[in-house]
Structure 1
Amino acid sequence: MNAAVRAVVRRGVSLGVQVVGVRHGYAGLIAGDFIDLDISSVGDIIHRGGTVLQTARSDRFMTPEGQREAVEKARAAGIDGMVVIGGDGSFRGAIRLTELGLPAIGVPGTIDNDIYGTDRTIGFDTAVNTCLEAIRKIRDTATSHDRTFVLEVMGRHSGWIALAAGLAGGAESILLPERPLPIEEVVARLKRGVERGKRHSLIIVAEGVGSGFDVGREIRERTGYDTRVTVLGHIQRGGAPTAADAMLASRMGARAVELLVEGRGGLFVGEVDNELVAAPLASVLDRRKEIPEELLDLAEVLAI
């Protein structure tokens, strides 16, 4: 997100726009927690994870009164357009701001890559590469000690992280919310691997499928194999962005400012086939971004 913030500020300045940062998200908007931003203030942040502006949930902003209060605070500070970085909840807020007369442009930022209308979201590639780094290190241990490892990754409703990390890391089985794999099939694959001389295996579990510890216990009880479990947790949400993420965030942030300067609002910036697109925010809400069947099929084929 810092790469996007940097791009918003520097593109805005290049267009003659004064840029103000809102700290702590919609909660900060209601509180009037603003900070002037210029070229220097966003220097040396592109490589940092998280967001220098910080973020927070706001129950108050979910109410009509809170939304009106937020717009009033923005107007009083001379703010006449906003770039909102986030996911579904943030986009819903951006729609309400636009409806109340404060044009807002959404930039998709979520590691889950589950926002409809864009091929990629800011943070996804970095999260996947964090998982992939862990997979490669765990494989060293699994190989050395002839063990089966279960790795639980984030993805409560979406299996994008698990699938991408599992495919890139050569996992033997990938358990996804989109295509749950019965534990019987996981065990059968492990046994087939042992029969052909395989001494170690890696199972990727998206948290939306269930607990990695439960999967590990089932494997131990059904096979007797030495099975260990690792839960990556919030380590997936931090760290320096990959080059792909930094570039994507920079392009999206700059385009969001351009849309506001053009007098537009209620839109989000997405990427489709490597090209930036602008679409109504309302068109992406309540729509599920499906994982292509070919990727799901490929994961099963490569696990043989």
Structure 2
Amino acid sequence: MKTIGVLTSGGDAPGMNAAIRAVVRTAIYNGIKVMGVNQGYDGLINGNIKEMGLSSVADIIHRGGTTLRTARSEEFKTEEGRKKALNVMKVFGIDGLVVIGGDGSFKGAEKLSDEGFPTIGIPGTIDNDLGYSDYTIGFDTAINTVIDAISKIRDTSTSHGRANVIEVMGRHCGDIALYAGLAGGAESVIVPEVGYEVDEVCQKLIKGRNRGKLHSIIMLAEGVGRAYELSDEIEDKTGIETRVTVLGHIQRGGSPTAFDRILASKMGAESVRLLIKGESGKVVGIQGNKIINMNINEALKINNNLDKDMYELTKILSI
């Protein structure tokens, strides 16, 4: 293993730069050259590649987004596209590849590994939707961003005596809504993994109003339904003025938390160690506060299950 490539793919996540930094510096520490691939698999196909040195990753550990940029590539999903990518890596002398991204990125890494090319995956996605790992890079930062927004929204909601529906990311995984809802003291948390009744949400709001509560927060994962329709229904049934805040891509940006920086650093270093040992077709993760690794195909089969105990706790604490 003389040269390692590194790329970020799919949606960006705070902490990706910390992972890139760890890959580059761990490789150089072990006498290995690093090639940075710009714009994900699309850049791999088109040879958008440059050598990275120590100065390439200086002063990036605190920066959000990804310095290598990211893109989605339909061409890479084809056999012809992957052959192009493999030929490009051969031209640049790349012996192994580290892929930082979510499940779609991992499927691409799995394909390369199946072709016999040494590839390791690092989970970088704010959704926290990879079931094999307790946490993914960017998730902690995203929920802290949401909690900060909740605090600001609560101030204005209290002033006007309103309810507010806050829509967060999470099409198939409700972890952002769940964690931020619990930490932010939301009255209701609505996630795709669990059904909900609008009347139950309204009942909580009415009970709160009757005991003098001046504001209410309803956390809604984007995969459940439309925030504005829910808001209109709540207002019609309760008479409580209800506003909507869609946080959108603000959740993807910002300086990563200490937790995400440390997690990304550990995972980045571990990915290089695995390549040095001759491993391939694996992903790194964290379980029980320990960095682990497993086969990509096994990891992708593990469903991400909502923490039902935490979900029940949100109900208990919001009475």
Give the TM bin, normalised by the shorter chain.
Answer: over 0.9
Structure 1 residues 188-203: aligned runs within 5 Å: 188-203=203-218
- Matching residue's letter, 1:182: E
Does residue 251 of structure 2 align to residue 249 of structure 1? Answer: no
TM-score if structure 2 supplies the norm length? Answer: 0.94
Residues 236-288 of structure 1: CA deviation (Å, up to 9, x unaligned): 01111011001100100010001001111100000000000010000121432
Alignment partners' CA distance in 1, 2:214 and 2:56: 53
Is the CA contact (8 Å cut-off) linking 1:84 and 1:104 kept in structure 2? yes
What SS does structure 2 have at the residue aligned with 1:180?
A: coil
Structure 1 residues 178-257: aligned runs within 5 Å: 178-257=193-272
Does residue 113 of structure 2 align to residue 116 of structure 1? Answer: no
Aligned to 1:9: 24
Aligned to 1:90: 105
Structure 1 residues 123-202: aligned runs within 5 Å: 123-202=138-217
Alignment partners' CA distance in 2, 1:258 and 1:239: 29
Range that drifts further, 173-182 or 1-10: 173-182
Aligned to 2:56: 41
What SS does structure 1 have at the residue aligned with 2:94?
A: coil
- Matching residue's letter, 2:198: I
Range that drifts further, 77-86 or 284-293: 284-293
Residue 101 of structure 1: CA displacement?
Answer: 2.1
Alignment partners' CA distance in 1, 2:131 and 2:308: 16
Residues 76-117 of structure 1: CA deviation (Å, up to 9, x unaligned): 110010000011111011111112121000000000001021
Is the CA contact (8 Å cut-off) linking 2:283 and 2:295 kept in structure 1? yes
Q: Percent identity?
A: 54
Residue 144 of structure 1: CA displacement?
Answer: 1.5
TM-score if structure 1 supplies the norm length? Answer: 0.98
Does residue 92 of structure 2 align to residue 105 of structure 1? Answer: no
Is the CA contact (8 Å cut-off) linking 1:68 and 1:100 kept in structure 2? no
Aligned to 2:9: none
Does residue 42 of structure 2 align to residue 23 of structure 1? Answer: no
- Matching residue's letter, 1:57: R
- Matching residue's letter, 1:178: E
Residue 163 of structure 1: CA displacement?
Answer: 0.3
What SS does structure 2 have at the residue aligned with 1:85?
A: strand
Aligned to 1:73: 88
Residue 53 of structure 1: CA displacement?
Answer: 0.4
Aligned to 1:295: 310
Please list every run of at least 4 consecutive aligned residues from structure 1 whose deviation after the TM superposition is greater than 3 angstroms.
none
Range that drifts further, 127-136 or 206-215: 206-215
CA RMSD, aligned part only? 0.8
Structure 1 residues 255-274: aligned runs within 5 Å: 255-274=270-289
Alignment partners' CA distance in 2, 1:168 and 1:199: 19
- Matching residue's letter, 1:208: G
Structure 2 unaligned spans of 5+: 1-15
Alignment partners' CA distance in 1, 2:139 and 2:286: 13
What SS does structure 2 have at the residue aligned with 1:79?
A: coil
Residues 27-74 of structure 1: CA deviation (Å, up to 9, x unaligned): 000001101001111001111111000011111100011111111110
Range that drifts further, 166-175 or 191-200: 191-200
- Matching residue's letter, 1:102: F
- Matching residue's letter, 1:266: G
What SS does structure 1 have at the residue aligned with 2:291?
A: strand
Alignment partners' CA distance in 1, 2:156 and 2:209: 17
Range that drifts further, 96-105 or 22-31: 96-105
- Matching residue's letter, 2:117: L
Is the CA contact (8 Å cut-off) linking 2:175 and 2:306 kept in structure 1? yes
